[in-house]
Each structure stands twice: as structure tokens, then as C-alpha cells.
Amino acid sequence: MDLLKQLCALPGVSSFEDAVRDYIKEQAAPYVDTMNVDAMGNLICFKKGAKATGTKLMLCAHMDEVGLMVRSITEDGYLKFVCVGGMDRRVLLGKQVLVGDRQVPGVIGLKAIHMTTAEERKKVPKLEDYYIDIGASSREEAEALVEVGDPCVFRSDCVEFGDGCLKAKALDDRVGCAVLLELLRRDLPMDCTFVFTVQEEVGTRGAFGAAFSVTPDIALVLEGTTAADAPSQDPEAQICHLGQGPVLSWMDKGTIYDRNLFERLRTVAQEHNIPWQLKHYVAGSTDAKAIQRTKSGVRVAGISAPVRYLHAPASVVNINDVEQVLELAWLFLQSVAGDC
């Protein structure tokens, strides 16, 4: 959990993953045989295992998180912005952000409620109606602190609460990054390539180049996925539930996962008494979408941790779910090695 908290605290809006990548490089360096950063910014680590096989296994998680980017500065010093990655505009009002390399603090604002019409109060505000207040009183004062194009990351503390829950930003997909780092520390049963990708949230852009370079035969993608398990949500649309174990995907909006690898994951989980659940609503996509379509094609599998309030300033996971994702990924790796 300390590793996950450290990762979530770092800023890493899509295409600005530098701080996350630097931290992962530092953590991974003592355990890998080779490490390189490609042109996109993906971190690719290779580690020898107990045996070299003809099967190339790639394990993947993305470093980037959703956020905002400054698009203009008003005459009176407010910042107008666009979203980086998919985001629900309803969650933005009043949230704290840190802007640019200087981590300038700001608050997302909107026209005061008493100034809105009855019709406006029935609708979700348009993105252009929001602004970021950094306390500047003029364009010149704001420009001394920030620039157009600066990324804005949500400011959200990591807090353990309730019955084994963790609240933080960027759990999608620092959960996957933490799991990969934990696996890297172990003595592996076979050679493996660990890939920490960039720009997943804006179209799985980093994963395509990484997979083209690595050319794996099998890829396991570790992710966070939407848990819409609120009591007001229809059961068939809840997707998955916190506290019920890793989520296995058979299909999402970007990928139909390899059937044999899906069955392998399910069998391994059952044989080792790891609770698991199906992602029973076709939604979202992962880096598997890009990896699967690389060159002559790649067999892909996915394990996800259920995450509430995905792509919001504060998300929630169950700590046991994360531990079980790690254990299932480890057992999957051993299973693949046993067949090689």
C-alpha cells in the first residue's frame, strides 16, 4: 500500500508522465536486466527468469491519469481548460488542482448558483463555463505563474478508510503499476518484459508503439475498471463490485480477449481459491486494444481491480482486491511458464 500511495500522489496527466516514470525507474532499477524509454515515453523493462522460452510474455500497465490542460488565460487571470481523457463534467466544480511544473494551486470554479436560471440548473454545465482560479487578478499576474498548455492534476490525498478501502486520485492505473513493480521484485519463472505505458487515457497511444517494439506472443494487461456498485444503480449495469476480487474481462469496447487465456485466468483463480468476478457490462477499453492489433496480432488477457468513481478527482479501491490482483497475476505468470 505504501508503494501504491506513493504512485498515486505523483502527477502524471497523459503525455506528462515524467514524475511517475522517474519514480518507477528508480524502484525497478535494482531488479531488471535492461531498461529503456522509447520515443513515446513508455518505460520498457526486461527481466530474466528461471528459463528463457520461445514464448514472449509482456505485462502492461499505464502510467498516465486523466486531468486538465490550460487552453487560455482570461484578462482577469482565470484559466480556461480542456479535459485530458474521458471525464464527467459534474465532478469538476470546487475541486482543487495543481497547475504546471510549479504545481500552482488552484480551484475549479463556475458561475454562482444564485446567478443561474431555472433552466440552467437542470443541465450539466458546459466545459467552457468552468474556469480555474489561481488567485491571480490579471492575465499578466497569471502568466507569471502558468502557461497555456500546462497540465493540471487533481489534488487529492491518499486515505485509508472504512472496511479496507483506499481513496486516492489516479488509481486507474497506478494500481497496475504497483502490481508490476511488486512482480519485478520476485524471482520470475520465465523471461518477462514489463511495460509501463503512456497516453492510455487519450486512446491507448503508447501501448501500440511498445507492443510493436516488444512483439509479444502473450500480453497481460493490469488495469482499474469501473465499479458502479452504488445501491441506486440497476444490478445489470453495476459492472463489478468492490471487495469481490479481481475482475476478468471477456470483452470491452476495444477488445475481445483471448478465450483460452481468459479460461486460464479463471481456472487458476478457482484452483487457488482467489475470489474473482466477471466484468458483466461491455464498457471502456484498455491497452489490450492496441496491443492485440500489433503486427500479426497478440493474444491478450486482462485483470482489473474494481474502482469506484473512476476518472474522478478521488477514486476508491478495496485493498484486498488489489492484493488479489497481484496474486492472480503471479499465478498466471507461473502457469504460462509451466506450459513453455
Active site residues: 200
Nearest to 195 by CA among 297, 29, 42, 24: 42
Q: Which amino acid is at 313?
A: P
- H or E, element range at 304: strand 299-307
CB-based contact 5:158 (threshold 8 Å): yes
Helix, strand, coil abundance in the chain, percent, nearest 5: 30, 25, 45
d(C-alpha 35, C-alpha 31), whole Å: 10
DSSP assignments along 213-237, one per residue: HH--SEEEEEEEEE----TTS-GGG
Residue 208 makes CB contacts below 8 A (sequence gap 6+) with 290, 291, 293, 294
CA–centroid distance for 40 within its chain = 17
d(C-alpha 338, C-alpha 329), whole Å: 14
d(C-alpha 274, C-alpha 279), whole Å: 16
d(C-alpha 255, C-alpha 301), whole Å: 10
Residue whose C-alpha cell reads 488552484 in the numeric block: 106
d(C-alpha 104, C-alpha 215), whole Å: 41
Peptide bond into 22 cis (omega under 30): no
d(C-alpha 44, C-alpha 61), whole Å: 11
- Pairing mode, if any, of strands 247-248 and 299-307? antiparallel
Nearest to 7 by CA among 58, 47, 49, 43: 43
For residue 286, the SS3 value is: coil
